[in-house]
Amino acid sequence: MKCPASSPDRMEFLDVTNLDKARKYRMLGGGLFGGMSEAIKKWHHYFYLILKQMGNEGRFIGKDQVVMAATCANYPFLCKTFMPLKGGKRSVVGSWFSMKYYWYLQCLK
């Protein structure tokens, strides 16, 4: 399915940093993210580049969200982030699953 509002060269993520008040660093939602095929191919290359770099530096790589956030921080041209939706009828999907609502608006409506 082609989504006209989706960027053909960027992965789309939910920025969940503010959903966990104890968090002191940026975090992206790892359960629901995506992109067009070209964006996924580019993302794959840079994600594993960062994963290897972090591992070589002795940094923690056991949580994909940490590596995802580091990839976006180092290569911002790869990522498009959305803030969680709150309140009104949008809250039906819950803040953690706001990407479903964004994609619904972009792709299905």
Among 109, 91, 88, 102, smallest CA distance to 6 is for 102
Rounded to 5°, the CA angle 32-45-67 comes to 50
Q: Which of 5-9, 13-17, 44-48, 88-92 has the lowest mean pLDDT?
A: 88-92
27 vs 96, more confident: 27
The four Cα atoms 46, 18, 8, 32 give a dihedral, to 10 degrees, of 80
Cβ-in-10-Å burial (0-12, 13-18, 19+) of 25 comes to: exposed
What is the distance between the alpha carbons of residues 1 and 70, in angstroms, rounded to a whole number? 29
What is the distance between the alpha carbons of residues 56 and 47, in angstroms, rounded to a whole number? 14
User: Are 98 and 85 spatial neighbours (Cβ–Cβ below 8 Å)?
Assistant: yes
pLDDT tens for 65-102 read: 889 889 988 999 998 887 776 655 545 456 666 676 66
For the chain, domain boundaries: 11-108
